Chain A
Amino acid sequence: MSKYAFWPGCVAQGAAPELYTSTLAVAEKLGMDLVELEAAACTGAGIISDGEPYLQDVLNARTMAMAEQMALPLMDICSTCVGVHRLAAEKLREVDYRIRINAHLAPEGIEYRGSVDPRHLLWILLEDVGIDKINSLIKRPLEELNLGPFYGCYIVRPERTLDFDANPTRRNSLEQLIEILGATTVTYDGMTKCCGFPILTMNKKNSLTMAGTHLEEAQSLGADALVTPCPLCHLNLDAQQPDAAKVIDRSLNLPILHVPQLLGLAMGIEPEKLGLTRHVVDTNRLLNKIGA
């Protein structure tokens, strides 16, 4: 059984609880043993670092030190978390800086030695679990579905932190997962752009124009749903979708799935168990289409 130090992130235990429950549901079927980092702190999501970048680095060094001490690979389930973890890991390659940061971990008896390679569940599916294993567990191929990927910025940028050259599957991981599960990918301009969530409360019009534009583009190209590895994107694309429709003055009705929800559906897990009944945009039409 493959074992991971599991960082669920805040939103999966708050406004997007279906991400957490669907992750646990698919992990069980895949035989993944997830050891949750219950004592770890929020990554700061780039918001703590707006004013306190050093503090954010200490918090993330601590999380990575915890995974290091357990000698387990670190698994995130949020594009923002994995991006912020990787940016912290990059900075902490600077030895003098790492020594300085480690001074704050010493009282807890831990140290970050710089060996952690934080990865998203989406990458782990392709890199560790593998296509064959996923294929063997598919009970309900998603052949009827046209799905648009929506990545979330930090899992595609900045490329220098993402090791794309050594791990080429990361470049188009969502398209690959969609195809493995039997569905068809709808490619569109907005799929690697910003959902607008980070400025939702600062500049609602700009934020929802972004979300609305990408949703409308994918919908007009025939997408039945979008699938995202980022729960923050999910909040802007799903929970804010009715307001985004008003801002761009178009009608929108596009369900947004989390990565483990999509995988779980293909594996035959009950929609209820995947939290698909807890979305703002109704998923019934989508579920009917695949007979779930």
Chain B
Amino acid sequence: MAQQQFIIERYNPDTEESYEESFDVDVQPGQTVLDSLNAIKWEQDGTLSFRMSCRHAICGSCAMKVNGQSMLSCQTQVDSAAERGDPIRIGPQGNQNVVKDLVVDVTKFLDQFERAETWLEPHEGQDPPEKEYRQKVEEFDHWSHASTCIHCGACYSDCTVAAVDENFLGPAALAKAYRFVMDSRDSKRTERLQFLSEEQGGIWDCTRCYMCVQACPKDVLPMDAIMELRTMAIEAGFTNNHGTRHHKGFTSGVRKRGRLDEMMLPIQSVGIGRLLTGNISAHKEMMDYTPGAIRLLKARKLLKIAQRHGANAEGREQIQRIFEEVETEKHHHNVDAEAFGAEFETAIGGH
């Protein structure tokens, strides 16, 4: 038995006081962080508050920050959380208001599921089946990992966008929406893609920072779900948005020169069509770039950007050939779904 120090971020709602408190706990090999919190509550301080229930990483109650990253405390062993001798810091989940100690108000997190209408909308005119609605195994295989969410909130807690924007739907609700977009039993695929693409705080607000993928204890890969939603939304024709224009402008630059074209991308992201038709908000967006461009000019960088570096001639020829081949291949196979399939297979099989 060894002794382990825990430093716990506490909050007392009666006095509105936030403070840190240190506890030493005797730990056995294999003991979890949650076991240790229970030991503190039962033997040292009965006022320590935290959520827990199943102790088997399935109810999703006990997600909290352990050394700064959200995880299930019942699934985290003390040995893996601390270098020998170092204290373990425990805090409440981020991006939500603290009710008391390690308990946060999850209303905001749960509200996002309602906003994204993450429930099955069966096809109309279809009598409910005698038993369950059926789904083909091969269809389910592609997205089965996304159905394993336990709503623990670890992803939302660590999300870098939710940290600055209350309106962001967040990784869990978006991954859940993805799960219904993918489900052949659901009738609202197109409407869902349109909503997720056009809603403020939808799929195009994600920064691709991988925090949610890292925090998720169930390999839901929320960020990858958001990325596949983007691909499907573009494919479904929901392209009148900054994100799609940015993707298309970026990609066309690489097609022409083999490299990112920093000179053209800002203009393409705003939309050349929008600018030519006198769209006022498009012109305002262009004006917004001006101070940044002047700073780059002063730092003697703008000229370098204007030189529009590219791959060498031989490389450009091959890159253009690849673009053409892939374009043709897309008429015959859903190669992008295969790309995601390969990713899920290696990402989840990898550990």
Contacts and interface: CB of A to CB of B under 8 A. Distances in A.
A1 interface: no
Interface string B149-161: 0000000000011
A202 B68 CA distance: 28
Nearest to A47: B250
Contact of A90 (B211, B330, B346): B346
B234 A158 contact: no
Contacts of A158: 210, 213-214, 347
B315 A41 contact: yes
A153 B210 contact: yes
Interface residues of B, number: 75
A14 B266 CA distance: 14
Contacts of A280: 295-296, 298-299
A204 interface: yes
A157 interface: yes
Range, interface on chain A: 35 or more
Interface in B304-351: 304-305, 309, 311-312, 314-315, 318-319, 321-323, 325-326, 330, 335-336, 338-343, 345-347, 350-351
A57 B285 CA distance: 32
A193 B213 CA distance: 14
A291 interface: no
A69 B80 CA distance: 40
Interface string B229-246: 011001100000011101
Interface stretch (A127-135, A206-214, A219-227, A259-267): A206-214
Interface stretch (A48-56, A118-126, A141-149): A48-56
Contacts of B250: 44-45, 47-48
A10 B309 contact: yes
A233 to B, nearest CB: 11
Interface of B: 68, 160-161, 163-165, 204-211, 213-214, 227, 230-231, 234-235, 242-244, 246-248, 250-251, 254, 258-260, 262, 266, 269-270, 285, 288, 291-292, 295-296, 298-301, 304-305, 309, 311-312, 314-315, 318-319, 321-323, 325-326, 330, 335-336, 338-343, 345-347, 350-351
